[in-house]
Structures are given as structure tokens and as C-alpha cells.
């Protein structure tokens, strides 16, 4: 019986090297081949074994018999007038996920997905509206960055934010090793301070991220300064209430960012700013005000720009550091989940997976 081929991209660099060392030993091949191949997974990625022309042809064939290097196929690519580029990847089971590449000066930030769909149903978010489909695998998460390096010409991603589709801390099992692949100098080599995990406030995940020794950054989607309002906008607040999220943010030993999407007439009054300032000061958090991308979900209007500025001013006057995020890629619907919704329509939500990983309330 044929044994199943091992997906080398689902392993950390050292795990893959270990497996390759065993492969070499079994076949009487020199040990250095393991290192040579492992560098071609992420560091200087090859599209397939055939492309590893520095290796003997026979070895490439042997590798392809034993292992796989699955690609994510690009189903759509759109470029915004502001340089932002959006990619829709089709996965092997027909699921579609998005990544958005955002150039800014000498940086290139890639916004990546951690799940196909999302279970959280935040009222203003397009991904929430399509429901949860499944968790992404390690190689599908880190692979979004790998695919950028395989473009012609390659994109040199300098920063990664987990602000695409899905809730990364509800897929920690895959996000944890994916963070290693992104950060490992022999992997994708992106500095930990240049990698931001964004969460609605999944408490066990915040603790797990805080326990990692690397300086990965944490952003928390707050969006409302009171439980009553937050519960309306984000059903997850029933399971992880604001107070607990704030306590977790205080315990996180690195600086956190609060994300706050500005919803016209909903969470943008001066009283909201005052209350938000109290929370931010408690955690010494930096606040990012996000203009609403219309078309996320129906029923909301963006806060006018001058009102966002006075909201920011109010926060500053209470000693809070704040930035107003520039809206990028508006013309290509680059907000969370929008491209997939355009292409595939909305799908009915699905229940939690067998491990209960998406159960929120």
C-alpha cells in the first residue's frame, strides 16, 4: 500500500528538517541535503521540488514521491488605485480565503486569514455574515505569505497582520506553529514585532500568545466601551465580556492596541470616547480608530471624518495615544470578507467543528 505523502509545509522549519534528515538517512543520502531542502520551503521558497534545480534530478523525484508542497491557487487578484492589492485564494476543498497586500513607504503589510469564514457574527463584518466554514491549516495560513514570495516579481512582505478572515485565537492550534514559520529566520524571517494578531478577545488565546517568548503584537477589537453596546455589536461579548478582556489586556506583558471601528450614530458619541479612554488608560493601550468599510454588513453608516477627528481629539485629551487608520483599497472592497462575498455570495452559517473550536456562546 502506498503511504501517504507528508506535507512539508504543515511543519515548522525544524520539524521539517528533522523529517528530511530521516528521509536522507533511510536512503543513504548526505545529511546536508535535509538543510538544503528545508531552506527551499520558506526561506527561499521553491514552487515545487522540480524547481529545486540545485538538487540532482533523482533526488527531486524521490522527494516528490515522499512529500508534498501544496500551493494556494490565486482565483482572483485586484489592484486598488492606492496600490493595495487583494488576493482571493482557492483552497483544495473549494474554500476561498483572502489576503490583502498594503504597501506603505518601505513597508509591505500582508493582511492574512486564519479561518474560512468566521463564527463570531460581528454585526458590521462581511466575514461574520458568511458564517464559519473551517479552520485553516498551518500551511494555509503561513502559505499566504509564501505565495507572495512566489509571485513574479516577488512581493517582499515586511509585516503581517491577522486581520483577514476569521478569528486567529479560535484556531490557535494552527496559528501557533504558523507564527513560528512567519518569524523563524530560516522560515519567512519576519520580526515578531512586525507580526500582529488581532482578536475579539478570546481569553485562552490571549494567554497562550502572551506565553510565547517572542514579541508578537496583540490587537484587540474593542468596538464598544460598554458591555451592553458591545454585546449588540459582537455576540462573543457574552462569552468573553469586556471586563475580562480588559483584565487580560492588562496582564499581557507587551503593549496592546485597541481597534475601534467607527459606526455612525452607534459608538461614536463623546461619552463613548470618554469611557473608551478610561479603558485604554487602564491597559496603557494604543487606540486605532478604523473608518467603517461600508458593505461589510448592512445597517451601518460610517462616522463622518470630522467626527472621527473629534473623537480622536477627545481620547488624546484624556492622555490616550490614538491613530486614525487610513482606509485602503476601498475601491476593491478590501475590508474583511468582502471579496469572497462578491465572488461566491453569502453561504449559510455552519455549526462548530467536532472539537467545539468555534463555539462562542
| Angstrom distances, CA of residue 238 to CA of 156, 244, 325 | 40, 11, 28
Q: Which residue is nearest to ligand SAH (CB)?
A: 296
Please name which of 239, 235, 237, 240 lies closest in space to residue 131, comparing C-alpha atoms.
Answer: 235
3-state helix, strand, coil split of the chain in percent (to 5) is 40, 20, 40
Binding region for ligand SAH (CB under 6 A) out of 43-51, 97-105, 205-213, 288-296: 288-296
Residue 261 within binding range of ligand SAH, rule CB under 6 A:
yes
Gap between the Cα atoms of 10 and 332, Å rounded: 31
CB of 38 to ligand SAH, least distance (A): 31
CB of 164 to ligand SAH, least distance (A): 6
Binding region for ligand SAH (CB under 6 A) out of 42-50, 86-94, 195-203, 268-276: 195-203
Residues 46-85 that bind ligand SAH (CB under 6 A): none
User: Which helix (H) or strand (E) is 12 found in, with range?
Assistant: none
Residue 245 within binding range of ligand SAH, rule CB under 6 A:
no
Gap between the Cα atoms of 215 and 284, Å rounded: 17
User: Which helix (H) or strand (E) is 241 found in, with range?
Assistant: none
The residue from 34, 160, 163, 333 that contacts ligand SAH (CB under 6 A) is: 163
**Of 19 and 202, which has the nearer Cβ to ligand SAH?**
202
Binding region for ligand SAH (CB under 6 A) out of 56-64, 121-129, 306-314, 339-347: 121-129
**Of 135 and 199, which has the nearer Cβ to ligand SAH?**
199
**Of 163 and 181, which has the nearer Cβ to ligand SAH?**
163
Give the other-Cβ count within 10 Å of 348's Cβ: 6
User: Which residue reads 533511510 in cell numbers?
Assistant: 26
**Relative orientation angle of helices 242-251 and 270-283, to the nearest 10 degrees:** 40
**Of 71 and 307, which has the nearer Cβ to ligand SAH?**
307
Do the bridges between strand 159-162 and strand 107-111 make them parallel or antiparallel, or are there none, so unpaired? parallel
Positions annotated as catalytic residues are: 98, 336
The residue from 135, 198, 237, 267 that contacts ligand SAH (CB under 6 A) is: 198
Kindly calculate the radius of gyration of the chain based on its CA atoms and give it in whole angstroms: 21
Indicate the DSSP class of residue 9: G
The pattern of x and - marking residues 325 through 354 that bind ligand SAH according to CB under 6 A reads ----------xx------------------
Gap between the Cα atoms of 243 and 171, Å rounded: 23
The residue from 24, 157, 292, 334 that contacts ligand SAH (CB under 6 A) is: 292
Residue 121 within binding range of ligand SAH, rule CB under 6 A:
no
In degrees and rounded to multiples of 5, residue 77 shows phi and psi of: -140, 125
The residue from 199, 237, 267, 303 that contacts ligand SAH (CB under 6 A) is: 199
Can you give the binding site for ligand SAH, defined by CB under 6 A?
Answer: 122, 124-125, 162-163, 167, 198-200, 221, 259, 261, 290, 292-293, 296, 335-336
Amino acid at each position: 500500500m502506498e503511504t501517504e505523502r507528508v506535507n512539508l509545509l504543515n511543519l515548522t522549519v525544524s520539524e521539517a528538517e528533522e523529517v528530511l534528515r530521516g528521509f536522507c538517512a533511510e536512503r543513504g543520502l548526505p545529511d546536508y541535503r535535509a538543510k538544503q531542502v528545508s531552506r527551499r520551503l520558506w526561506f527561499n521558497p521553491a514552487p515545487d521540488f522540480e524547481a529545486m534545480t540545485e538538487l540532482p534530478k533523482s533526488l527531486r523525484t524521490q522527494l516528490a514521491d515522499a512529500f508534498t508542497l501544496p500551493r494556494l491557487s490565486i482565483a482572483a487578484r485586484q489592484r486598488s488605485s492606492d496600490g493595495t492589492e487583494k488576493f482571493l485564494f482557492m483552497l483544495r476543498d473549494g474554500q476561498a480565503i483572502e489576503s490583502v497586500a498594503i504597501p506603505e513607504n518601505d513597508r509591505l503589510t500582508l493582511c492574512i486569514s486564519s479561518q474560512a469564514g468566521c463564527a463570531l457574527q460581528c454585526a458590521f463584518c462581511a466575514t461574520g455574515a458568511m458564517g464559519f466554514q473551517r479552520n485553516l491549516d498551518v500551511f494555509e495560513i503561513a502559505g499566504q505569505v509564501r505565495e507572495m514570495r512566489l509571485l513574479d516579481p516577488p512581493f517582499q512582505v515586511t509585516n503581517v497582520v491577522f486581520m483577514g478572515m476569521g478569528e486567529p485565537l479560535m484556531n490557535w492550534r494552527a496559528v501557533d506553529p504558523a507564527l513560528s514559520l512567519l518569524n523563524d529566520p530560516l522560515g519567512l524571517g519576519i520580526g515578531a514585532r512586525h507580526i500582529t494578531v488581532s482578536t475579539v478577545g478570546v481569553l485562552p488565546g490571549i494567554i497562550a500568545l502572551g506565553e510565547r517568548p517572542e514579541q508578537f503584537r496583540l490587537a484587540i477589537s474593542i468596538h464598544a466601551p460598554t458591555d451592553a453596546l458591545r454585546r449588540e455589536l459582537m455576540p462573543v461579548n457574552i462569552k468573553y465580556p469586556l471586563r475580562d478582556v480588559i483584565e487580560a489586556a492588562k496582564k499581557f506583558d507587551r503593549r496592546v492596541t485597541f481597534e475601534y471601528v467607527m459606526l455612525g450614530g452607534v459608538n461614536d458619541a463623546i461619552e463613548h470616547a470618554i469611557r473608551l479612554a478610561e479603558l485604554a488608560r487602564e491597559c496603557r493601550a494604543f487606540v486605532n480608530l478604523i473608518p467603517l468599510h461600508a458593505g461589510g454588513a448592512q445597517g451601518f453608516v460610517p462616522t463622518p471624518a470630522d467626527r472621527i477627528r473629534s473623537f480622536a481629539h477627545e481620547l488624546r485629551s484624556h492622555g490616550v495615544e490614538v491613530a486614525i487608520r487610513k482606509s485602503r483599497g476601498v475601491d476593491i472592497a478590501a475590508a474583511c470578507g468582502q471579496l469572497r462575498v462578491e465572488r461566491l455570495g453569502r453561504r449559510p452559517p455552519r455549526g462548530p467543528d467536532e472539537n467545539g473550536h468555534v463555539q462562542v456562546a
